[in-house]
Chains A and B, each alone.
Chain A
């Protein structure tokens, strides 16, 4: 089956008078990491909502895992998992209960085993039986992503997964995303951070004023600009590097 994981053609969407998407086209290859880059309000979340069957488009077509999102939403939902902009975790339940709940809703055998494995993998063992309301932002985000991995969906949507996270937590999320792609999962990621797209994505598309204005690999996008002028400057560590070095958690990613 060599269809694209995601295929979007001429997507249009308006909220009342406001035209958010004005004919968006792109495709995402199976097993790749695709980053949709754009400033706040560019329409990234609207695209995610249409692709995850939460919102109907006004025009154009979108297919996920070969299924049309408008006519076959149930098949789409079987293939995907969404990690929204705000950590969609139940704060009153514990981390373990959150994972078991999702496993039950996906009708999997042995929910407890699945939750144990994910708690392990996301280093949430110690906090497993604490209420999520006591978790830090990074832990919440890890649990959120862990919940999305229950049942091993083929395509994962991450809507601004690192917004509001501290640098350490951000690196953790990056590591997770890379591992996912290494295991063959397709990752659709939106972000407003350029370095995030640069670090993670096989392909990057830039959404601006309702249209994709650039789409390609990082090398492709770099070619759009004139070659860099060579200048010699003293390399200063940036604040992030200093911060990470001091707290001794600097990881090579």
Chain B
């Protein structure tokens, strides 16, 4: 065991190196992941946005947080897909029959997910800047936004791990992401929740996306974030812990 612990970080480094090559050589997945959210952003800003009353004078500013969450939700489908392919091709078996920490192979995928989603997020923010997105947030607020997005990515990544490990087909590995991609529509991401009928509004205001979107929106606008940020963090950490627990159970069973 000693030798394994001693090498844990260098093993993780190798796994991360592998992942980075995967990301850099399949930039088309970044494009696939970002194109729908960007199209949504264009549609909502230039077609529908004029008719939406948000109480903010710049609709791109209002919309961006929800668009980012949407991009991450579709990005994790690829995490699931990559994991599924590793299982199918037997490369996991090779790693597991080698004297390296077993979890290194899995954590490699988790790190890949974080890095590739971070790239997607940056791409979308750049497009938003071109469309007139402006933020008065300071460096600390930006760091807080990055932290919330990273936690959100991690939470969804562990859900993706469950899907990737238990899927029986390539299509199945990614299908779980669809409901997640649509969750922002029934939230405060596109329109304020006040105009929704009471049942929908109750759902919208109590589902994770709304509090996360509100927290990020407030941070980017340089406003006080209030209780939303704590609710958002609680959702992210809660989902992450539950998903991690089940992911590990599936992992032990499958290995």
Contacts and interface: CB of A to CB of B under 8 A. Distances in A.
Contacts of B7: 107
A92 B11 contact: no
A209 B93 CA distance: 25
Contact of A90 (B18, B98, B100, B255): B18
A85 B14 CA distance: 24
A77 B99 CA distance: 5
A85 B97 contact: no
Contacts of B90: 84-88
A104 B98 contact: no
Contacts of A85: 90
A101 B12 CA distance: 11
Given A77-B98, A105-B100, A107-B10, A82 B18 contact: no
Interface stretch (B21-29, B145-153, B190-198): B21-29
8 contacts: A80-B97, A81-B97, A82-B97, A101-B17, A101-B18, A105-B11, A105-B98, A107-B10
Nearest to A153: B98
A93 B93 contact: no
Contact of B1 (A52, A74, A90, A104): A74
Contacts of B96: 53-54
Can you list the 5 inter-chain pairs with the closest CB atoms, starting with the nearest? A88-B90, A88-B94, A82-B97, A84-B90, A77-B99
A49 B93 CA distance: 9
Size range of the chain B interface in the assembly:
20 to 34
A92 B7 CA distance: 25
Interface of A: 49, 52-54, 74, 77-78, 80-82, 84-93, 97, 101-102, 104-107, 131, 147
A54 B11 CA distance: 19
Given A81-B97, A131-B25, 7 more contacts: A54-B93, A82-B97, A87-B89, A90-B91, A92-B25, A102-B94, A105-B11
Interface in B1-50: 1, 3-4, 7, 10-11, 14, 17-18, 21-22, 25-26
B93 A82 contact: yes
B99 A104 contact: no
Among B22, B90, B99, B255, the most chain A Cβ lie within 10 Å of the Cβ of B99
A86 to B, nearest CB: 5
Among B1, B22, B90, B98, the most chain A Cβ lie within 10 Å of the Cβ of B98
A131 B100 CA distance: 25
B246 interface: no
Contacts of B230: none
B93 A89 contact: no
B26 A92 contact: yes
A104 B10 contact: yes
B95 interface: yes
A234 B202 CA distance: 87
Contact of B91 (A54, A88, A106, A131): A88
Contacts of A87: 89-90
A131 B26 CA distance: 12
Contact of B94 (A49, A84, A107): A84
B116 to A, nearest CB: 13
Contacts of A88: 89-91, 93-94
A77 B97 contact: yes
B99 A78 contact: yes
Contacts of B95: 105
A159 to B, nearest CB: 9
A82 B94 contact: yes
A131 B14 CA distance: 18
A80 B10 CA distance: 21
Contacts of A54: 93, 96-97, 255
B1 A97 contact: no
A147 B18 CA distance: 15
